[in-house]
Amino acid sequence: MTRILLAEDDDDLRRFLAKALERAGYQVRACADGDEALAALDSDYDLLLTDIVMPGTDGIELARQAAARQPRLRIVFITGFAAVALSPNSGAPQGAKVLSKPIHLRDIVAEVEKLMAA
């Protein structure tokens, strides 16, 4: 089963994302911020789905550390600040996908399915 680490500080969005992904058949570890997600990296995941702007460790730093620990990890940012993630100086891991908010839950699940099938 595909394992997803989800980091999103918006409680409602995190809950909705986790539920939608679980309904699609994924195992989801939902974290309220980047610090909690960093602590969860002691387990292996197939995908990191993270917001960029969060209290504590932001999504870009989380992605950098996650990619260093788990080089095969796929990374998707969900953010209202897509230009930050796409900036060459942002430090975001190469190959990370960016989905801009607002985005429909159905579209996120479809993107995850495409990414995991690739």
pLDDT of residue 83: 55
CATH 3.40.640.10 fits 3-117, yes or no: no
Residue pointed to by tokens 């095969």: 72
**Strands 27-31 vs 47-50: parallel, antiparallel or unpaired:** unpaired
Residue 76 burial by Cβ neighbours in a 10 Å radius (0-12, 13-18, 19+): buried
User: pTM here?
Assistant: 0.90
Residue type, 78: I
Walk along the chain (118 residues) and give the pLDDT tens digit of each residue.
899 999 999 999 999 999 999 999 999 999 999 999 999 999 999 999 999 989 999 999 999 999 999 999 999 998 876 555 556 666 677 777 888 888 888 899 999 999 898 8
Domain boundaries, the chain: 3-117
Of 56, 15, 13, whose CA–CA distance to 38 is shortest?
Answer: 56
